[in-house]
Amino acid sequence: MVTRTRFDDSECPVARSVDAIGDWWSLLIVRDAFDGSRRFGEFQRSLGVAKNILTARLRTLVASGVLESVPASDGSAYREYVLTPRGKALFPVIVALRQWGEQNFFAPGEPHSQLVDRRQGQRLRPLEVLSADGRRLNPDDTTVHKISAQ
């Protein structure tokens, strides 16, 4: 078999996350969902993705509990795809990717879509990795415990 490698049984949480959302389209679908997209056609137009691919992705995202298929909010017979609590918990992931992209792949002053605080219209704080007692941590300040029975 030459099936794509899966990580859903890995002992590493990062691997299991990547298994659920780590392909080219899933994260962008989730981003659009945070941005208010709900309908098949909305995702399709926004992303420019082929319809069969979008169908497959929506299915796996529903299967992994990130999205949920619900009756359309406008009362029509169509269905909509909305974030579950598990999907909404991806918010820090999307924000982290957004901030990394802003800082590393745009020239100074180059226009780009921007996520802002709805109440004040201002940009968000950069995400910070903090220790239990609130110190800012850099990568070198942390280490991985290979396994733990929690």
Residues near DNA (CB under 7 A): 1-5, 23-25, 39-42, 48-53, 55-56, 58, 72, 76-80
* In the complex, least distance from residue 136 CB atom to DNA, rounded to whole angstroms: 33
* In the complex, least distance from residue 132 CB atom to a copy of itself, rounded to whole angstroms: 4
Contacted by 136, from a copy of itself, DNA, none: CB < 5 to 8 Å by type: none
- Site membership for a copy of itself, residue 150 (CB under 8 A): yes
* In the complex, least distance from residue 70 CB atom to DNA, rounded to whole angstroms: 12
CA of 46: how far to CAs of 10, 25, 89, 127, in Å?
33, 12, 22, 27
Calculate ∠ Cα 42-58-70, nearest 5°.
Answer: 75
Residues 6+ apart with CB under 8 A from 37: 43, 46
